[in-house]
Structure 1
Amino acid sequence: MTEIFYVIVGFLLVLAVFDLFVGVSNDAVNFLNSAIGAKVAKFRTVLIVASAGVLIGAVMSAGMMDIARHGIMQPSYYNLKEVMTIFLAVMVTDVVVLDMFNSMGMPTSTTVSLVFELLGASFVMALLKMGGDGDLTLGMLLNSNKALTVIIAIFVSVAIAFVAGLVVQWLARVIFSFNYKKKLGYTIGIFGGIAFTSLAYFIFIKGLGDSPFIHENFRQWIGANTTMILLAAFVVTTVLSELLYFLKVNVFKIIVLAGTFALAMAFAGNDLVNFIGVPLAALDSLKDYLANGGGDPEAFMMTSLAESATSPILYLLIAGVIMVIALATSKKAHNVIKTSVNLSRQGEGDEMFGSSPVARVLVRSSQNVGSVLEHIFPKSVRSWIDSRFNKDEAIMEEGAAFDEVRASVNLVLSALLIIMGTTLTLPLSTTYVTFMVAMGSSLADKAWNRETAVFRITGVVSVIGGWFMTAGIAFVACGLVCLIMHFGGFVAMVAFMLLVAFLLWNSKRGFEKKEATVDNTVEQKMLGTSDPQQVWQLLSKHFVDVQTDVLRNVSEDYKAIFNGLESEDLKALRRCSRNLKAIKNIQQKVRKVELVALRRSPMEIAVERNTWFHLAMNCDEEYMYGMRRMLDPILEHVDNCFDPFSKTYVNEYRPVMEKVLSLLDTAAGMISSGDYSDYERMLRVFQGIIADLSALRKKHIDRMQREEGINFKTAQLYLNLIQETSELMNTTKHLMRASYHFAGK
């Protein structure tokens, strides 16, 4: 029986590596979004700084492994088999839950995930033990106060972080304005002093304060002289900031990079337990069992887990290296960062979320509050404040989502709030704090205007909802897994190991497939560059790509609709319906991006070509409406098992369909290549097929009037198909015309 525990511990250690990857993918947003969003340095430079913080933080880990050992359960009441079951259930659930959120690009809390998984598995195991021993109680078997503290801290940290980000960023913007370099000589010293002192305090208290490598005497000296050290640090860094400013050094960039290092270090030092705490606790359990001579694992009680952990530095170093590799290579990490940066973006861009009723209510309520406040403050005060928030004067790096002032506030304030949590012994989640500070600061900066607020609030609500879902999903899922493992024994454990391996492989393959189908490089460049001429060149290319894709999608769906009608293939028709809905959502996003790009193009070109641009966009919309009008009656007809489409209609219409498909393909090729030498002839061909369809429609209407015993349902369906095909060709002719003139022909 001992061999199975070797397998479990080995699997947990392997799973720890995957957990480090998915955990870093999720938590990288905590310390990278500000530096990346403000473009303070090259992406590689930001990664190097963050990697240094992660590596040092991992090696100087604050000995937080105890939460996995006895933070939730009371291990002295559990035997080896029960503890191994709990640990395996926790790791299996943890990897799957975190990978699910990362694949969706939604940040969540690894701390909450771990705590509630431990709570769920321990709760189920406690109930099972209580069923066998009436003297045991939940209070004896569980450390329930810890979980309650985490829940309270979640609510508190979300609200406080958002409000603090809103207030502090508003004050910072009033002081600096968007044209922050104008009077920097008067303010940068104080701001730099506060920022650097806060970050130094954060590094020593949060990052190094509880490290086992810091000598106890030195730790006591820091504790006794904290105030003096902070005052000295403030004076020195204030003077240093002024000096650097006069030497033409960008102090904000240094603050942002220092903040990135500090948060990365604290993340690695304090959140490492979320990834390797459980596997190391399992390893220690097995070592203790073997050291005491083995025996019956169901009789060996895990009293040793009640003691504090002593993690070997080699394990911590290996974990740090794995986190650095994950940080540099994980596409999912970059996906999560994109969510946070997009929701904080100063200008308009590709909104990742749609609208929601909650967001609409919140936006409408805030507008009403704003109207009330306008009547309270004098007009002169409002005018002066508005002048400080003049976004036309904004100084941002090319491609940045927001400026360096906001990036500095995000990092420094996040660090201070986490320090407060540590001082008050509240287990604040770094994810919650950093994300909500970023959202509050973006709201204060008026990044959420009336055009984008409803989408971004929907995004924030979705992310927050995901956080709280994490707790429930982790608790229930882990409890269920633990229950199955308990009754299924080692067979169930092995089955779950194989299941997790398959799910991870499948998730990786699915994410790579999704990434391969989403190529928005041109969109990012369009929104990132400030050169109007380059914007126009990119927009022209993007326009061609989009219209080519539209025509090819229309061609595929049109063919699928007719074939589905002919063969009564309900699945194919439903698949086509879902495809049309997905394409419509994509088109809405594309249209927003292209409208922003058109406004940023050279004025003379934009004025000349905008009519044709909007005509093309209208054609795209008309395609969707027309295809829907064509599909819906056919889908209803087939779904209700009405009489099949007449062979007469099929044979009569198929040559028309082949000609339509050929024209759609030719039009797509012409737009894609930019070769309009055959443009005039193509227009005549389109006019000809429209005339043919008109004649076919008249012929069919006459047939409906004259023939006896005709099935009016299928006859009406055929008439609708002819009419919508005619509209399809008419729309394509207009799109050809719009593309021709938009290309400047």
Structure 2
Amino acid sequence: MDNIYLYMIIALAILAIADLVVGVSNDAVNFLNSAIGSKAISFKTIMIVASLGVAVGAIFSSGLMEVARKGIFNPGEFMFDEIMIIFMAVMITDILLLDFFNTLGMPTSTTVSIVFELLGAAVAMSFIKIYSDSGSGVFSDVLNYINTDTATKIIIGILLSVVIAFSVGAFVQWLTRLLLSYNFEQKAKWVGALFGGIALTALTYFIFIKGIKGTNYAKSIVDVLYSGSADGILDWANNYFGTAFDSIKELTSHKDYKDALKINTDKGTVGLTLRGFLEVNVLPIIGVSLVVWSLLSYVFVTALKKNIYKLIIIVGTFALALAFAGNDLVNFIGVPIAAWQSFVDFSDPLINTAGLSADQFPMNSLAKKVTTPTFLLVFAGLIMVVTLWFSSKAKSVVKTSLDLSSQSETKERFQPNFLSRGFVRVAMAMSQMTSYILPESWQAKIEKQFEVPVISLARNKSHELPAFDMVRAAVNLMVAAMLISLATSIGIPLSTTYVTFMVAMGTSLADRAWGAESAVYRVAGVINVIGGWFFTAFSAFTAAAIVAYLLKLNLPIMFPLLLVAAFALLLRSYLVHSKKNKEAKAEDSLTKAESSSVQGVIQESATNIANVVKRGNKIYTNAIKGLARQDLALLKKNKKQVVKLSSEIDELRDNIFYFIKNLDESSVGASNFYINILGYLQDMTQSLEYISKVSHKHINNNHKKLKFSQIKELKEVDDKMELLLNDTKTAFDSRSFEKIGVILDEKAQVYNLVKEKIQKQVERTRTEESSPKNTTLYFSLLLETKDLLNATMNLLDEYYNAHDGTVTPATIKTNDAEEDPNLDNESE
């Protein structure tokens, strides 16, 4: 039986590697968001800087994995076999939960997930012990096993992170923009230097407090405060701190001094640690840093003629990456390392002197401080750096944050809800109230500072525009660093992930990135993300508790079973994510028109028409096929496909405004043609959507199957439609628009066939049909097929009448700046 624990250690090592990958994929948003969004430096430089920060942070990470060992539960209350079950349940749950959020592209806190998984698994094990050992346990006994203070702090941390980070981020960004405006590069040199001094001071202090705090170096002695007799230490402390300590133990366990002081009673010395020095000399350190960094920033701006905002972004990215790796590494490898050290203690005859079995060996040893081997930290850092470079899921999590904070138009992925609409209405009302309070002259000056400069850029290069400018990126990094540093120093449990995300959202609001066109979508996105944070805590607790219970039921069977299930789910998630990425890059996706003439739009839209016809043909055929086979899975998938097609056409319609704005006076006909084409495409998708919906509904409700004669007739119609649509696709693919006339002549054949089938069904209904549902479905399919045919023919007719092969298509003119070949590299 003991061999199973060795297998569990091996499995936990593999899970630790996988957890590092999924964890970094989620937390990368913390330090990549600002640099990538501003495009201040090239992507390669961003990744190099972040990689250095992660590597340094991992190598100098805390050697003490206290959270995993004793932060959540009291290890002495559990036996070795129970501890191993708790750790295995935590790792299986953690990797699946974080991967789930990565797949959704939603940022969440790895700290919250690991804490509540440990809590859930420990609570489940506690209940099993309470009710199996005594048989008469009470609910309150669980408090003997669990440290509830940590969970309470985490919940408070979520709430504080949301409110404080959002509010402070919004206020600082509003104030900064008011002072610097969007033309910040034209401001006086000393203004940029002063801003650089403040920002770099905040980041430096952040590196000291958050980056060094958890490392072993933070416990190094930098000054000896007292050297004398052991008996004199207490007298010295009472005089020095002005407090009456009754014992050395009381002094060393005091929350304010236990990490700041290192007491050696054998030598009779009291040393001030590096952490204590930083906490005691906060104001002098900040004051000196502000002066030094401001002067260096001024030299950087004037003598070297460099952009100070780029330097802030580089330093900020490094600082947040360093802090992430240095403090959050425990979330990924803390549990496996604690399990390994538990196994070593259990297997060591010098510790387990009585040769106790796994269910009798208490884990008091976990309460001791044990240093993590350096080679494990180096190995973990290497995995984190590799993941940072190659994880596609990390990019999707970053994209969510960037889309919600983008200054420009983006594809909104979140739908409005009553909460987002309510928040926006309240914000608008408050904005109107301030307009009544402030004098008009003040309002005019403020508006001028918030005027966004117009950048002339061809729409095919619009993706090169940054999501926001360097000022907002610098404020994001600076404010996040300040808040995390301040909270760490005074003991408020703010989450790094939550702070960085909510600061970015607050600065977006203050920068007016959430306009009337996007506010309800962006606010809905923020609400979804915040809701996901609470879901993380709840699901982590519940899932870990269930897994722990299952493992306790029968460890030899459930351990391999759950492990295989976990890796199977990970593999499935990877395949689904890869499939989505491929679909996003599919050739059949629709593109926006950019031409300024009718003939140009005809040429550009031909590919869209071919793709819609191809996908529509497949959707129609699958609907008939799903009905014939009563294949619910196929019909469900078909519904998703038509919704996707409809949303893409809606996007094209949303682009009409920008399309018309780019036309010159002589090209108004192109807009009329383009609007008509989009209208016919929408009519086609509406018919396909209805056909797909009623087909799915019929089978999903378990109604009677269509008769063989009905299926046969629908297949005849499908064959004719398929032939017609294939000819249409071929004509548009080859740009052979003269063939459209031939296709238009085929309309009558299909139209007459549909009418004939409708008449047959009327006769059947009068004589032999006994199912009202079948009759309704059959008529609905045929009538909607007629509408689909009409919309398709109208589309073809529009093209046939508008096309003129003798005219050379015109395109939108670009100015010299847009034709500059160096424009692509400007952001680098």
- Give TM-score, length-normalised by structure 2: 0.82
Aligned equivalents of 1:492, 1:652: Cα separation in 2: 53
1:561 has 2:623 as partner: yes
| Bigger mean CA offset, 450-459 vs 650-659 | 650-659
Q: Which runs of 5+ in 1 are unaligned?
A: none
Number of paired residues? 735
User: Which of 374, 383, 387 is the aligned partner of 2:435?
Assistant: 374
Query: In the alignment, what sits opposite 1:440?
Result: 506
Aligned-pair CA distance for 1:590: 5.3
| Bigger mean CA offset, 733-742 vs 316-325 | 733-742
Structure 1 residues 3-152: aligned runs within 5 Å: 3-131=3-131, 132-133=133-134, 137-152=141-156
Aligned equivalents of 2:750, 2:39: Cα separation in 1: 58
Aligned equivalents of 1:201, 1:67: Cα separation in 2: 25
1:153 has 2:157 as partner: yes
1:332 has 2:389 as partner: no
1:735 has 2:819 as partner: no
User: Which of 301, 309, 312 is the aligned partner of 1:252?
Assistant: 309
Deviation string, structure 1 residues 691-734 (Cα, Å, up to 9, x no partner): 75158637955994899626496677655544433332332233
* Partner SS state of residue 328, structure 2: helix
Label 1:116 to 1:721 Cα distance change in 2 as closer, same or farther (>3 A): closer
Residue 38 of structure 1 contacts residue 397 of structure 1 at CA under 8 Å; is this kept in 2? no
Residue 40 of structure 1 contacts residue 397 of structure 1 at CA under 8 Å; is this kept in 2? no
Label 1:692 to 1:602 Cα distance change in 2 as closer, same or farther (>3 A): closer
Residue 523 of structure 1 contacts residue 542 of structure 1 at CA under 8 Å; is this kept in 2? no
* Partner SS state of residue 299, structure 1: coil
Label 1:635 to 1:265 Cα distance change in 2 as closer, same or farther (>3 A): closer
Aligned-pair CA distance for 1:47: 0.6
Aligned-pair CA distance for 1:624: 2.2
* Partner SS state of residue 447, structure 1: coil
Amino acid in structure 2 at the alignment position of 1:240: L
Query: In the alignment, what sits opposite 2:287?
Result: 231
Amino acid in structure 2 at the alignment position of 1:436: M
Structure 1 residues 53-452: aligned runs within 5 Å: 53-131=53-131, 132-133=133-134, 137-213=141-217, 215-217=220-222, 219=274, 220-246=276-302, 247-291=304-348, 292-293=351-352, 294-393=355-454, 398-452=464-518
Aligned-pair CA distance for 1:60: 1.1
Structure 1 residues 595-614: aligned runs within 5 Å: 595=656, 598=659, 601=662, 603=664, 607-614=668-675
Residue 697 of structure 1 contacts residue 719 of structure 1 at CA under 8 Å; is this kept in 2? no
Query: In the alignment, what sits opposite 1:663?
Result: 724
Deviation string, structure 1 residues 598-649 (Cα, Å, up to 9, x no partner): 36756569745322322232222211221244455555666564573473x6
Label 1:600 to 1:65 Cα distance change in 2 as closer, same or farther (>3 A): farther
Aligned-pair CA distance for 1:85: 0.8
Aligned-pair CA distance for 1:658: 2.5
Amino acid in structure 1 at the alignment position of 2:441: S
1:581 has 2:639 as partner: no
Amino acid in structure 2 at the alignment position of 1:259: G
* Partner SS state of residue 297, structure 1: coil
Label 1:359 to 1:547 Cα distance change in 2 as closer, same or farther (>3 A): farther
Residue 595 of structure 2 contacts residue 604 of structure 2 at CA under 8 Å; is this kept in 1? no
Amino acid in structure 2 at the alignment position of 1:505: L
Aligned equivalents of 2:372, 2:754: Cα separation in 1: 81
Deviation string, structure 1 residues 312-366 (Cα, Å, up to 9, x no partner): 1111111111100010011110110010001111011111112222211221222
Aligned equivalents of 1:660, 1:561: Cα separation in 2: 13
Residue 747 of structure 2 contacts residue 793 of structure 2 at CA under 8 Å; is this kept in 1? no
Deviation string, structure 1 residues 397-455 (Cα, Å, up to 9, x no partner): 93311100100000110001100121122232111000000011111111111111111
Aligned-pair CA distance for 1:480: 1.0
Deviation string, structure 1 residues 455-506 (Cα, Å, up to 9, x no partner): 1111111111111000000001101111111122232222222221222222
1:465 has 2:469 as partner: no
Aligned equivalents of 1:606, 1:265: Cα separation in 2: 55
The Cα RMSD (Å) is 3.3
Label 1:607 to 1:288 Cα distance change in 2 as closer, same or farther (>3 A): farther
Aligned equivalents of 1:608, 1:634: Cα separation in 2: 40
Residue 57 of structure 1 contacts residue 264 of structure 1 at CA under 8 Å; is this kept in 2? yes
Amino acid in structure 2 at the alignment position of 1:80: F
Q: Comparing both structures, which one devotes a greater share of its residues to helix?
A: 1
1:621 has 2:678 as partner: no
| Bigger mean CA offset, 352-361 vs 446-455 | 352-361
Aligned equivalents of 2:451, 2:738: Cα separation in 1: 50
Label 1:83 to 1:604 Cα distance change in 2 as closer, same or farther (>3 A): farther
Residue 349 of structure 1 contacts residue 596 of structure 1 at CA under 8 Å; is this kept in 2? no
Amino acid in structure 2 at the alignment position of 1:271: D
Residue 196 of structure 2 contacts residue 308 of structure 2 at CA under 8 Å; is this kept in 1? yes
Residue 176 of structure 1 contacts residue 184 of structure 1 at CA under 8 Å; is this kept in 2? no
* Partner SS state of residue 186, structure 2: coil
Query: In the alignment, what sits opposite 2:743?
Result: 685
Query: In the alignment, what sits opposite 2:784?
Result: 724
Deviation string, structure 1 residues 166-188 (Cα, Å, up to 9, x no partner): 11111111111112212142411
Aligned-pair CA distance for 1:9: 1.1
Amino acid in structure 2 at the alignment position of 1:163: S
* Partner SS state of residue 376, structure 2: helix
Label 1:115 to 1:735 Cα distance change in 2 as closer, same or farther (>3 A): same
Aligned equivalents of 2:497, 2:769: Cα separation in 1: 63
Query: In the alignment, what sits opposite 1:506?
Result: 572
Residue 68 of structure 2 contacts residue 338 of structure 2 at CA under 8 Å; is this kept in 1? yes
Aligned equivalents of 1:637, 1:243: Cα separation in 2: 74
Aligned-pair CA distance for 1:230: 2.2
Aligned equivalents of 2:21, 2:760: Cα separation in 1: 68
- Give TM-score, length-normalised by structure 1: 0.91
Aligned equivalents of 2:579, 2:69: Cα separation in 1: 39
* Partner SS state of residue 137, structure 1: helix
Aligned equivalents of 1:169, 1:350: Cα separation in 2: 25
Label 1:603 to 1:31 Cα distance change in 2 as closer, same or farther (>3 A): farther
Label 1:475 to 1:181 Cα distance change in 2 as closer, same or farther (>3 A): same
Residue 117 of structure 1 contacts residue 479 of structure 1 at CA under 8 Å; is this kept in 2? yes
* Partner SS state of residue 360, structure 2: coil
Aligned equivalents of 2:586, 2:474: Cα separation in 1: 29
* Partner SS state of residue 34, structure 1: helix
Give the structure with higher Rg (CA). Answer: 2
Query: In the alignment, what sits opposite 2:241?
Result: none
Label 1:387 to 1:580 Cα distance change in 2 as closer, same or farther (>3 A): same
Aligned equivalents of 1:583, 1:525: Cα separation in 2: 12
* Partner SS state of residue 217, structure 1: strand
Aligned equivalents of 1:18, 1:260: Cα separation in 2: 24
Residue 214 of structure 2 contacts residue 327 of structure 2 at CA under 8 Å; is this kept in 1? no
Aligned-pair CA distance for 1:515: 1.4
Aligned-pair CA distance for 1:228: 2.5
Amino acid in structure 1 at the alignment position of 2:527: V
Amino acid in structure 2 at the alignment position of 1:261: F
Label 1:469 to 1:630 Cα distance change in 2 as closer, same or farther (>3 A): closer
